[in-house]
């Protein structure tokens, strides 16, 4: 590299430093521009351009900046060529330098693909945002945006350097992303020392950007809890990632080589899961308790959808049948009270029907049956109109009055008592 002994050498080093390139690159740009200027000068003086012009070379003194044109060993530099070259070659030199600078920058960012970088939103063109990354400019296309996020000028965020691709203007572009699942993985790599040391890592990740992410972590070192490492003490590590993602929910589970166990874990927070595998079609049939069914499926099917992405299996979920005992316990109390009254009444009916009735008591029995039917109608109506536990108890007492009326052969008197009891219960409920 030329030492800064002259004004030209100082300018040469300054340009090389600003562009982030070697001074030899700047000299190459000047040599190329000098040949272009010489050719144009010949055309302006109406002199023919030699057929072997491609063999011409230019030389630049790195100390003085003197420019010379040679045809082989012959110096053909016209008088005052430095002034001519300065006026003609400036644009060519800047173009070459910008290309060299861009090439250096792209080479730098190619090594950063898959990593996280901070940047601020510079401007918007249509649905595409342009990001100031420092030495370079990145683009955030619609496909890499999180649609629940709002972007505005000068907003500073972390982005994933996704790829370097050929742009529409003939140059390469640095594509950054906010929606790529690897952004979450890279953010955890910044927060978790165990990932940096290789003690644990994120095996698989499934993400619906802006809403929810599921992560399967594993440990390659005994004594290291992969889930605890990612969560951090009091959740400090996972909260740092969630804050950067705009409060996106993150589920972290342990990775397992056992598909059934892995699928059951992937469906968390649902519990008590049974998994049946069809390895040929890679379909998992999952049975969960009825009270866990909504958790396993998730809002809009999101939980099972992310679990399928995470595990690579198609997951069919079905609810387990509840035992009969559980159904019996789950019956409303009012139904149980009604069935109990009906059962008692049925027993009395069967008993009354099974006992022989003497011939002389036939008339009394008939009257008793008629009174009994009338009382049963009153009891049934009272139960139907009951709205409180107190009214239901009164209905049961009415059934007992019915039994007593039948046994004591005084239906009319007991009917009156029944009506009074029902009337009192109605007044109490008011």
Report the pLDDT averaged over residues 88-117.
Answer: 81
Between CA 404 and CA 414 the distance in angstroms is 8
pLDDT in tens, 226-260: 999 999 999 999 999 999 998 899 999 999 999 99
Query: Higher model confidence: residue 401 or residue 426?
Result: 401
Q: What percent of the chain has pLDDT over 70?
A: 71
Report the pLDDT averaged over residues 271-277.
Answer: 91
- Given a cut of 90, is residue 350 above it in pLDDT? no
What residues form DSSP beta bridges with 317? 286
Q: Are strands 128-132 and 137-140 parallel, antiparallel or unpaired?
A: antiparallel
Cβ–Cβ < 8 Å for 426, 394: no
Range with the poorest average pLDDT among 56-60, 79-83, 254-258, 363-367: 363-367
- Given a cut of 50, is residue 357 above it in pLDDT? no
**CATH 3.30.1480.10 segments of the chain:** 7-109
**Cβ atoms within 10 Å of 82's Cβ, excluding its own:** 14
Average pLDDT, the chain: 80
Which of the residue ranges 161-170, 283-292, 326-335, 379-388 has the most confident prediction, judged by mean pLDDT?
A: 283-292
The architecture of the domain spanning 187-255 is: 2-Layer Sandwich (3.30)
Structure tokens at 414: 């007991």
Query: Higher model confidence: residue 392 or residue 32?
Result: 32
Report the pLDDT averaged over residues 419-424.
Answer: 62
Which of the residue ranges 44-58, 268-282, 357-371 has the most confident prediction, judged by mean pLDDT?
A: 268-282
Query: Higher model confidence: residue 318 or residue 401?
Result: 318
pLDDT in tens, 12-63: 888 888 777 788 888 888 888 888 888 888 887 788 888 888 888 888 888 8
Burial class from Cβ neighbours inside 10 Å (0-12, 13-18, 19+) for residue 285 reads middle
What is residue 3's predicted lDDT score, i.e. its pLDDT? 46
pLDDT in tens, 183-193: 999 999 999 99
The class of domain 7-109 in CATH terms is alpha beta
Between CA 207 and CA 149 the distance in angstroms is 15
**CATH 2.40.50.140 segments of the chain:** 113-179
What is residue 51's predicted lDDT score, i.e. its pLDDT? 83
The class of domain 113-179 in CATH terms is mainly beta
CATH number of this structure's domain 268-330: 3.30.300.20
What is residue 135's predicted lDDT score, i.e. its pLDDT? 81
**CATH 3.30.300.20 segments of the chain:** 187-255, 268-330
Between CA 12 and CA 1 the distance in angstroms is 10
pTM over 0.85: no
Query: Higher model confidence: residue 323 or residue 320?
Result: 320
């Amino acid at each position: 590299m030329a030492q800064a002994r002259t004004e030209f050498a100082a300018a040469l080093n300054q340009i090389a430093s600003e562009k982030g390139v070697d001074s030899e690159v700047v000299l190459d740009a000047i040599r190329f521009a000098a040949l272009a200027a010489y050719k144009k000068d010949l055309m302006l003086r109406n002199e023919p351009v030699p057929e072997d012009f491609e063999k011409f070379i230019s030389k630049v003194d790195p100390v003085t900046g003197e420019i010379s044109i040679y045809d082989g060993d012959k110096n053909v530099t016209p008088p005052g060529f430095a002034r001519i070259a300065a006026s003609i070659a400036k644009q060519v030199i800047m173009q070459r330098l910008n290309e060299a600078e861009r090439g250096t920058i792209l080479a730098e960012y190619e090594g950063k693909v898959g990593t996280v970088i901070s940047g601020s939103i510079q401007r918007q063109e249509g649905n595409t945002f342009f990001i100031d990354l420092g030495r370079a400019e990145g683009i955030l296309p619609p496909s890499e945006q999180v649609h629940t996020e709002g972007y505005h000028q000068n907003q500073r965020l972390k982005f994933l350097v996704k790829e370097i691709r050929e742009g529409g203007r003939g140059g390469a572009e640095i594509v950054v992303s906010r929606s790529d699942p690897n952004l979450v993985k890279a953010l955890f790599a910044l927060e978790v020392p165990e990932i940096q040391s290789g003690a644990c890592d994120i095996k698989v990740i499934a993400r619906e950007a802006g809403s929810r992410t599921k992560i399967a972590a594993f440990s390659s070192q005994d004594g290291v809890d992969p889930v605890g490492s990612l969560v951090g003490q009091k959740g400090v590590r996972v909260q740092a990632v969630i804050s950067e993602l705009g409060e996106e929910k993150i589920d972290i589970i342990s990775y397992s080589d056992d598909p059934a166990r892995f699928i059951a874990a992937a469906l968390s927070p649902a519990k008590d899961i049974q998994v049946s595998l069809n390895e040929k079609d890679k379909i998992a049939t999952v049975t969960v308790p009825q009270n866990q069914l909504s958790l396993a499926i998730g809002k809009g099917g999101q939980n099972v959808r992310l679990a399928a992405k995470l595990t690579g299996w198609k997951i069919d979920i079905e609810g387990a049948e509840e035992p009969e005992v559980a159904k019996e316990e789950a019956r409303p109390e009012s139904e149980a009270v009604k069935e109990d009254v009906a059962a008692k009444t049925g027993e009395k009916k069967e008993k009354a029907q099974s006992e022989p009735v003497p011939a002389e008591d036939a008339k009394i029995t008939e009257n008793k049956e008629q009174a009994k039917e009338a009382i049963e109608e009153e009891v049934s109506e009272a139960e139907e109109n009951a709205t409180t536990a107190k009214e239901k108890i009164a209905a049961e007492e009415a059934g007992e009055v019915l039994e007593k009326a039948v046994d004591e052969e005084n239906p009319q008197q007991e009917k009156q008592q029944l009506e009074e009891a029902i009337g009192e219960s109605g007044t109490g409920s008011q």
